């Protein structure tokens, strides 16, 4: 069975982007609890990362469905 490298890359990218975004959200919550000032880019990261992660997961789903439909022919 041949592994699809593109799907693996998409899966790891989606997991990394979503994981980093969730980690940054936790950092923001802890920093606001302890009343630390954060830079603007750190606050902006989850607003970009979570939609990007969703698009990557959606792209992974589409490519997987296309590959499986071609394999069934």
* Mean pLDDT confidence for 35-61: 91
- Between CA 18 and CA 36 the distance in angstroms is 24
Whether 4 shows a pLDDT value over 90: the answer reads no
- Between CA 73 and CA 68 the distance in angstroms is 9
Q: Tokens for 28, please give them.
A: 């923001």
Whether 2 shows a pLDDT value over 80: the answer reads no
- The residue extents of the domains of the chain are 5-68
The answer to whether residues 45 and 24 touch, using CB atoms and an 8 Å cutoff, is yes
- For the whole model, what pTM was predicted? 0.85
Provide the pLDDT for residue 41: 83
pLDDT in tens, 11-47: 999 999 999 999 999 999 999 999 888 888 888 999 9
């Amino acid at each position: 069975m041949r592994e699809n490298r593109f799907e693996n890359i998409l899966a790891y990218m989606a997991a990394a982007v979503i994981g980093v975004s969730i980690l940054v959200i936790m950092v923001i919550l802890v920093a606001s609890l302890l009343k630390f000032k954060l830079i603007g880019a750190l606050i902006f990261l989850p607003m970009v990362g979570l939609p990007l992660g969703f698009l990557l997961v959606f792209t992974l789903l589409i490519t997987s469905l296309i590959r499986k439909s071609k394999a069934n022919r």
